[in-house]
Structure 1
Amino acid sequence: MQRSELVALLSPEGLALLDSLPAWNSTDDVVRMVSGLRAAGHAPALVSAVLSQSKLRSRAAAKFGPFAERMLFTSAGLEQATRLPVAAIHAGRFSRAGLHRVADLGCGIGGDAMAFAALDLDVLAADVDEVTAAVASYNLAPFPDARVEQAAAEDVDLGGIDGVWLDPARRTPGHGQTERITRPEDYSPSLAFAFDVGSRLPTGVKLGPGFDRSLIPEDAEAQWVSVDGDLVEMSLWFGNLARPGIRRSALLVTDAGTVELTAPADSVDEPVGAQGDYLYEPDGAVIRARLIGEVARGIDARMLSDGIAYLTADEYRPTPFATGFRIIEELPTDEKRLKAALRARDVGVLEIKKRGVDVDPAALRRRLQPRGAASATIVMTRRAGRHVTLLVERM
């Protein structure tokens, strides 16, 4: 979104027009809608701006729920924004630590800042980009104790601030299609700045779940978060925001609530053992936090193969930290014979899971050409180091 588009959108006419539109539906005749709005006397630039916002609000519902209906977004800002339930968890940690004045540096569209303000924290939010800072100001307008500055994180005066939240930009600058930054040294603000702030003030730093573990400071608590099985972030916590005795955490957020697995360090994997009747796939947060061993010991399981994140057990014991499967039988690993085996079982809907093998599930599914009335799940992995294909059913 360009500055001129935002100015038009923030006019009384623009906001009234945006709120008057029906919920975005991708099957609607957009050309007819554009023609109708222009025929009603609305400027082409305004029509384009409000329709773009309507589409973004529709997409944002997955992250912000009904709040999205009264927010503004940029495409890049929405992509990088924290899901509201996760932002609420961040805010809760600041509140429980007794912090009252929080600086959100690199606030983006203001998702985390909204969660802080909702818990009656005094929030200073800052973003270096003019349009993004203006969007954040709009989204934070309902909160009297929140204010937004257009400023680089490094230039914000932290005098009187109790705690800091940092979400370094991990994509190239812009409001539309941007590219992911892969090198931590290119983040904005830099990790060196973020870690320096963490050495002086209680600080939380949001990073990608694939962040290089060798860069995690020893005094920080590292927490990986998944939402409904989707691994979404890793956060580092410093000062009294880091919980005593905890350096690794896997937090799982679902519609039913949250569950967490914690440890003082990476856990040691259980030894590799014989394949049992059941297979477990740990949640992505558990895998990234290297707490597979903790899960294994909790359900009396063992590793199926060294270095592969599958567990096996003789009895089924439910756990929120892993998905369980009953192993039905072993199928051929040879593609031609596997295709024949699936045909013999009348499989038409096929789910392919894999770890530790060089397989593209989508391409393999096309080659296997499943055609039948039954559905099935196969797991392609290694057992004690050797390739294996298992037919399983989800527990």
Structure 2
Amino acid sequence: MDADGLTRLLAPDGWALLSALPPYDERLAMPIAERLRAEGLHPSLVAAALTQSRLRSRARAKLGDFASGMLFTQAGLEQATRLEVAAHHARRYRDAGLSHVADLTAGIGADALAFAGVGLRVTAAEVDEMTAAIATVNLRHFPEATVVHADGLSLDLSDVDGVYADPARRTGTGRRVFDPAAYAPPLDAVLALRERVAALGLKLGPGLPHGAVPHDARAQWVSSDGEVVEVGLWFGPLAPEGPGRSALVLRAGHAHVLAPDESAHAHVGEVGTYLYEPDGAVIRAGLVGDVALEVHGRLVDPTIAYVTGDERHETPFATGYRVHDVLPFHLKRLRSYLRERGVGRLTIKKRGTAVVPEQLRKQLDLRGSAESTIVLTRVGGHQSVLVVEPLTPAADGPHPGES
């Protein structure tokens, strides 16, 4: 969307057009565009309205009903924080007793919206002029929020008691940036701000290595409905737990936090009746052993993120499976095993093995109507196959021996 399209879209007639469009359907976009242009609407307005309709449709997964009243850029939507996660960010600032937050990288305004939504005053800086204009539109219902077209690092922080930043980690062409010095703004420049404002929060990519976490940070890896979305670095009053690591698992509208138990350590043992696959945020945070402690289990292998146990335990930090068989990995034996049981639909999970699931599926030449799940991993240092069944919190209640 160019500046002309945005200007036309923000006019009363343009906004009315956007509001009147049907739910976005890729198959209907071209016919609708042709009809609107034939009716005399400016091509820039038609293109802008249909682009926003498409982006709003995509944004609902991140921002829910708020998306229907917002404007977006492609890059802004990709970097925007999910509303549920942004709400957790905002509550950290509110619960720390802060009142005025500077968002140095406002983008389309998703985090600023969450800050304002919990009653915080927000100064939201955005270096791109069009994106700043869009953020202004998106924050129009919040008098607590002020958007400024500026480099966030240039903001006057004398009246600010909290700072937040989500440095861009992609180039203008969409390629990922892995060097923190090439972030926009650079990571070191943002970290230096904690010398001026103690309450600093950062949203970074979840692949951040533990060795890159500052010694005074609380690093919290976050997953939302099974997808690892970020690691937050929290400093000063935003980290009342103190420096360290934790995992925040958001699932089905509930939030669960796992922190390390420094007083105990999980051991490695043989595969039991149950297998637990830790959530991705737990794995990224290095807390697989803590899941083993929670389910009274043990590690399958010291280097593999699978936990096993002899009792069933419900935990938000892992997906559970009942183990039916443990076999050494051997293609012919596995093929015979599955054919004897009429397995034609197979879910293949893997960790710690070079086997390619789709290639293995072809080699197995599956036949039958039954369905099964296998896990390819190392057990006791040996490549193994675990035949498992996903556990569900179903109505049939616990099986014998389950707690």
TM-score normalised according to structure 2 size? 0.92
Alignment correspondent of 1:80: 79
C-alpha distance in 2, partners of 1:268/1:126? 45
Alignment correspondent of 2:290: 294
Establish whether residue 145 from structure 1 lines up as the match of residue 144 from structure 2.
yes
C-alpha distance in 1, partners of 2:6/2:125? 18
Shift in Å, 1:25? 2.4
Alignment correspondent of 1:55: 54
CA deviation profile, 1:226-253 (whole Å, cap 9, x unmatched): 1111111100001110123451111111
C-alpha distance in 2, partners of 1:11/1:324? 53
Alignment correspondent of 2:377: 381
Equivalent position amino acid for 1:106 in 2: T
Establish whether residue 309 from structure 1 lines up as the match of residue 308 from structure 2.
no
Alignment correspondent of 1:240: 237
Report the secondary structure of 1:324's partner residue.
Answer: strand
C-alpha distance in 2, partners of 1:264/1:206? 25
Residues 1-395 of structure 1 aligned to structure 2 (within 5 Å): 1-26=1-26, 28-173=27-172, 178-201=174-197, 202-245=199-242, 247-263=244-260, 270-331=266-327, 333-395=329-391
CA spacing shift, 1:95–1:35, aligned 2, 3 Å: same
Identify the range of structure 1 (243-252 vs 15-24) with the bigger mean alpha-carbon deviation: 243-252
Report the secondary structure of 1:387's partner residue.
Answer: strand
CA spacing shift, 1:52–1:324, aligned 2, 3 Å: same
C-alpha distance in 2, partners of 1:102/1:167? 14
Task: Note if contact 1:73-1:109 (Cα within 8 Å) is conserved in structure 2.
Answer: yes
C-alpha distance in 2, partners of 1:220/1:93? 14
Aligned positions, number:
390
CA spacing shift, 1:41–1:252, aligned 2, 3 Å: same
Task: Note if contact 1:246-1:264 (Cα within 8 Å) is conserved in structure 2.
Answer: no
Report the secondary structure of 2:255's partner residue.
Answer: strand
Task: Note if contact 1:245-1:264 (Cα within 8 Å) is conserved in structure 2.
Answer: no
Task: Note if contact 1:247-1:264 (Cα within 8 Å) is conserved in structure 2.
Answer: no
Report the secondary structure of 2:90's partner residue.
Answer: helix
Shift in Å, 1:312? 1.0
Report the secondary structure of 1:85's partner residue.
Answer: helix
TM-score normalised according to structure 1 size? 0.94
Shift in Å, 1:369? 4.2
CA deviation profile, 1:121-143 (whole Å, cap 9, x unmatched): 11000111111111111101111
Task: Note if contact 1:278-1:324 (Cα within 8 Å) is conserved in structure 2.
Answer: yes
CA spacing shift, 1:260–1:148, aligned 2, 3 Å: same
Identify the range of structure 1 (370-379 vs 306-315) with the bigger mean alpha-carbon deviation: 370-379
CA deviation profile, 1:253-310 (whole Å, cap 9, x unmatched): 1124111112387x97522111111111111111111112222112111110121000
Superposed CA RMSD: 1.7
Shift in Å, 1:370? 3.2
Query: 5+ unaligned residues in a row in structure 1: which ranges?
Result: none
Identify the range of structure 1 (277-286 vs 328-337) with the bigger mean alpha-carbon deviation: 328-337
CA spacing shift, 1:276–1:126, aligned 2, 3 Å: same
Report the secondary structure of 1:296's partner residue.
Answer: helix
